[in-house]
Homo-oligomer: A and B are copies of this chain.
C-alpha cells in the first residue's frame, strides 16, 4: 500500500496518497446477476452459518466442574452364607467416595472366613494332578489362587489337585447369582451435586437451581417430563433412559455414564443456562463381541479373632456411574467476530475470481471485456491490445 516507485521521492507527499484500484464496471444483466448471486451465497453462508449457527461472534470457554454424590436406599438379601441381611450405603458403596463417579454393588460372590493356610487348588490346567510329581513346589502363575506346596491332595472324592498355600477356602469360580442379590438397587436414589464455573466469564452455577427448595429436594425424583430439574436420580431410571435393563445389567455389572451438559449462551439471561442430563452405557455390551463383559471388583473385609487373621473375600459385581460434565459457554467478543469477518471477506474475494473467469471465457463479448480490463506492457514498452490479439482467432468485427 505505497505509492510505488515514487516512495523514494517524497515520503510526506506519498503519505497522503490514497491508492484505490481502478475498476471496470461491466453493465450487463447476465454478469451482474451472476455476480450478485455468488455474493448472496457467500454472505448467506457467513451470516447464516458462521454467525447464527456457529455463533462465530462469540468467545467461548469450557466448563470447570465439581461433582459430589450421595446414594440412598437399603436392600434385603437372604443367602445361605450370610442369612437374612440388610445392606445400606456403607455396605454397598465401595469405596465410600470417588471423584466424579460412584460404584453401587448389585451382585456378589462371597467367600467367608478365609485364612492363610493350605488347601487344594481348584481343578484346571496346571493344578490337577495324580501324584506330587505333578506339582512344583513354589510354583504359581496368574491363573492360580496360591503357591503350590508340592503335594497332591484330594480336591473332591473324584478329583486330586495340587495343594497350595493361599487364602483358604478358595473362591469358587461360580457365575454370579441371577437374579442379582441386590436387585433392589434399582430403587436406590442418588443426589448429584454439581457446581460449574466458566472462569473466562467468571460465571458460576450449580445444578440445584435457585427455584429448588429443600422440601422439594427432600421428595423429588428426576423425571424428564415432570421433574426435569430434580438432581435426584433413581438408578433404575438411569438405566432405562439409557435403554438398558437394570436387572440384566446388575448381574454382571457395568459402567453407566451420567452426562451433564451445560451449554450456555451468556449473551442471554443467566436463567437460560440450565443443565441437561443424558444417560449412556459406557462399557461394551454388543453381543457378537462380548468378551470380558460386565464390571466387578474384588475386595475383602479383614477380621482378627484371637490373633489369627481371617477375611471375607467379596467378588462384587456392580454398576459404576461416571458423572461426565460437558459444556461450552459463549459470549460476544470482538476478536472472533473480526476473525470471522476477515475470513468471510477473503471468501467474497473468491466471487470475483469466479465471475472474471466466467465473463472472460463464456460471455459473448469476452474479447471486448478483456480489452477493457487488461492493459499489456512488455519489457519494451506498452503493447497495444491489437498487437497482442492473436491473429487467426478469426474475429469478424474488431473494434
Contacts and interface: CB of A to CB of B under 8 A. Distances in A.
A94 B96 contact: yes
Interface stretch (A151-159, A267-275, A378-386): A378-386
Contacts of A346: 341-343, 345-346
28 contacts: A4-B356, A5-B360, A6-B370, A16-B27, A17-B26, A18-B26, A18-B28, A20-B26, A22-B374, A24-B377, A25-B376, A27-B383, A28-B379, A45-B338, A66-B282, A68-B295, A74-B140, A74-B146, A74-B147, A74-B166, A88-B145, A97-B320, A142-B189, A195-B255, A338-B343, A341-B347, A342-B346, A365-B379
A133 interface: no
Interface string A343-368: 11111111011011101110011111
Given A86-B167, A302-B301, A292 B214 contact: yes
A299 interface: yes
B191 A5 contact: no
Interface stretch (A7-15, A173-181, A243-251): A7-15
Interface string A291-317: 110010111111111100011010000
Contacts of A357: 2
Interface string A330-344: 000001001101111
B350 A345 contact: yes
B25 A17 contact: yes
Contacts of A96: 94-95, 297-299
Q: Which of A94, A212, A338 has the most CB of B within 10 A?
A: A338
Interface size range of chain A in the complex = 35 or more
A85 interface: yes
Label chain A's interface by main secondary structure: mixed
A302 B182 CA distance: 20
A329 to B, nearest CB: 16
B217 A291 contact: yes
Given A32-B15, A283-B195, A343-B343, A24 B21 contact: yes
A320 B18 contact: no
A16 B29 contact: yes
